[in-house]
Structure 1
């Protein structure tokens, strides 16, 4: 690992000059999963500045974003102040309206900030019958499969950054400044929790240090 440290350091500096959002890369996939379920009312947990909401609201009747970080929530509120059918609630998932149910719930790079099993249980309870949960999550690397996916992601990351953000940046864009945290759970641990709390959920390893989870609540 020590022999790779100089290369990783140089790649990290390059990536900082050419930033792009791994979460935004998966936004079209999330929207397709939501619209395929027929959802009309959607909750986006940890909505950030609202990039996913901007896509979702064109495909559903009502979209609500929860964002506990005050500065990030203020940016999202200003962004959608004149957008019908979109509301931003500056709270976390634990402080949501407790009896509200949704046709679809989305979380992108949010689940690892929350207690895993209790949150999965509460997400299931927050879905309408026939509702869909769509997660793009982060997990802690473990084993050869994660190492291979990480290596491919490490090599692709600067190439995509150069295409998406060819002009070097002095700082990350606003939607990439929200608080971050290292994921505590491995993908195996997340799969096991999903098997218990979300029977039938589909969990897949993805590139760029992400995984996806789709769960359909019984009608």
Structure 2
């Protein structure tokens, strides 16, 4: 049983409810938190970038000053509308709703934030590889169900630090107000270790690391001679 599920059974769910209230008072976006990590790992060549599953377009807008062209792709029409509105003043941004794997590349950067577990894990890394230019980078932030000892250790660390990070980012208690449209949600099913094997088979040398915030990151640079 995942530790997050265990907290729901302790003291009749009181622990889970208490933590949920604490986190709600100081909310933070676990996905947006990793935009800085992406900016710190951009490729040297920056002609075009693709954000798969762009959601409301936050990362697309963040990448726009660094690339000649940025394409945000999302299958959800509500997300595309939100992304188009956010990026309406950015001439080098395009929001697309077609099949991301069939877009005209190559791209110097392909990003996925909390998206890979929505896709066919056996195919997606190969499709990313095909879209990348030589020297291009794949940067992903993902989720996986905790199964190993290491997974559970990082889960504990994330549970403990989640309210601390929230307080640091938003010290003033949340009082409610208008909320953006919710992202489509799907629970991950591929374990961290299985995903690492899938990625390594297609992207030799890829770096995959556990992170706080119940996330992991994947970083890979396509060899310049391929």
Same fold per TM (> 0.5)?
yes
Match of 2:96 among 89, 96, 103: 89
Alignment of 1:38-57 (within 5 A): 38-57=45-64
Separation in 2, partners of 1:83, 1:126? 23
The match for 2:65 is 58
> Are the aligned partners of 2:61 and 2:86 in contact in 1 as well (CA < 8 Å)?
no
Separation in 2, partners of 1:192, 1:91? 28
The match for 2:200 is 195
Q: TM-score scaled to structure 1, two decimals?
A: 0.90
The match for 1:153 is 158
Question: Unaligned regions of 5+ residues in structure 2, if any?
Answer: 1-5
Corresponding position: 1:126 with 2:131: yes
Separation in 1, partners of 2:96, 2:18? 39
Match of 2:29 among 9, 21, 33: 21
Deviation at 1:171, TM superposition (A): 6.5
> Are the aligned partners of 1:45 and 1:92 in contact in 2 as well (CA < 8 Å)?
no
Please report the RMSD computed on the Cα atoms of aligned residues, expressed in angstroms: 1.9
Q: TM-score scaled to structure 2, two decimals?
A: 0.88
Separation in 2, partners of 1:132, 1:164? 29
Separation in 2, partners of 1:37, 1:206? 25
Task: Please give the secondary structure, in 2, of the residue aligned with 1:152.
Answer: helix
Corresponding position: 1:174 with 2:180: yes
> Are the aligned partners of 1:46 and 1:110 in contact in 2 as well (CA < 8 Å)?
yes
Match of 1:183 among 181, 188, 205: 188
Match of 1:138 among 131, 135, 143: 143
Separation in 2, partners of 1:172, 1:150? 30
Task: Please give the secondary structure, in 2, of the residue aligned with 1:174.
Answer: coil
Q: How many residues were matched structurally?
A: 215
Question: Unaligned regions of 5+ residues in structure 1, if any?
Answer: none
Separation in 2, partners of 1:171, 1:161? 18
Separation in 2, partners of 1:78, 1:183? 29
